[in-house]
Amino acid sequence: MDLFEKCKQFIRHIEAQNAGYYPYFRPISSSVGTEVIVNGQKMLMIGSNNYLGLVTDSRVTEAAIEAIKKYGSGCTGSRLLNGTLDLHEQLDHELAQFLGKEKALVFSTGFQTNLGTISCLVQKDDLIFSDRSDHASIVDGCRLSFGKTIKFKHNDMEDLERLLSNNNHECGKLIVVDGVFSMEGDICNLPEIVRLAKKYEARILVDDAHAIGVLGENGRGTTEHFGLTDETDMIMGTFSKSFASLGGVIASDTEVIDYIKHVSRALIFSASIPPPAAASCLMALRIVQQEPERRERLWEITNRIHTEMKGMGFELGTSETPIVPIYIGEDEKTFAFWRELSDEGLFTNPIIPPAISPGQSLIRTSYMATHTDRQIDRVLDTFRRIGKKFGII
């Protein structure tokens, strides 16, 4: 059989385009703030991960411009060889301090951070215990490792303990979870995970991509939110959300980071993040610490959205963060609902299986500290009208 036969038979995207319900790869021709331009249409953005609104902050963009002037547009090599700048080392240092760990290491992307960390730490005969809703980068990191992956039911600590008890062998064990789950918007049960890790002698990796800048008194994420930074072995973060850039970081004890630094293929064989990405992340990190009012505003908006959406009768599942899923159920109905929202000028993201369980298709919305009250009024009014039209509320 021809290797490309599967490609020829793949026509789902064409069918969706012909039906007018293709919601992916939409070209945005403006800066990504609370409003964007898509195909000439001005849209209210409630579908990005720009939680603190720093992507368009003049201090962040100016830092990127100045970095290009000083260092050029790229590093042309991996961090192991010629791709480490003093800027990267400064970012490593300040992120370690921020995350409360001895040392941190910046990767080229968040995906590569999980991929490179898990695959190099977990060896033959080691075990990984992974939440069934963990991000794809965790799933692929587990696949690339030589250990065995055991999945537990989403945020189900009884199931996790059952699996730990049934597999309590003399071997290395890693429990890996999202701090905030990117589709459901709920928070992992870190206190119970810490208890179980101690009981069964396992290590913990928390992917805090959607929690850093959002959770915790100082925006340090899930571990600060629960007061469990010291009890969490590794903290992973990305720069493409609250830090308004591109890249990823893993923070842990010195010996762990030094090992990853010299063994992780995803780090050693990838070019380092370019100077403007490093500089913009560094500036965003400093703003996160200097301006807690941004996080306060984000939670003011989040609490209002949760309260009013639930009050209308929408199903939000277990969400408790600025990621607010609106559960529709059927795939076709979800796409139709999305189309109506889009026609009304709201940029949202329809999520269907396999990204979510069958029958649980949803509209993923997410909010920014820079949204105005008037914009939130518009969001709520639009959802109310369309929800009634579809008989969902």
Q: Which of 173, 210, 225, 306 is catalytic?
A: 210
Angle (CA) 258 260 261, round 5°: 60
Catalytic: 357? no
Q: Which of 88, 135, 225, 241 is catalytic?
A: 241
Angle (CA) 49 52 58, round 5°: 110
Q: Which residue has the tokens 């925006």?
A: 219
- 182 φψ region: left (φ > 0), alpha (ψ -120 to 50), beta (else): alpha
- Evaluate whether 125 touches 147 at the Cβ level (below 8 Å): yes
Q: Which of 133, 182, 240, 361 is catalytic?
A: 182
- 305 φψ region: left (φ > 0), alpha (ψ -120 to 50), beta (else): alpha
Catalytic: 93? no
Catalytic: 182? yes
CA distance 244 to 98: 16
- Evaluate whether 348 touches 328 at the Cβ level (below 8 Å): no
Report the catalytic residues.
Answer: 182, 210, 241
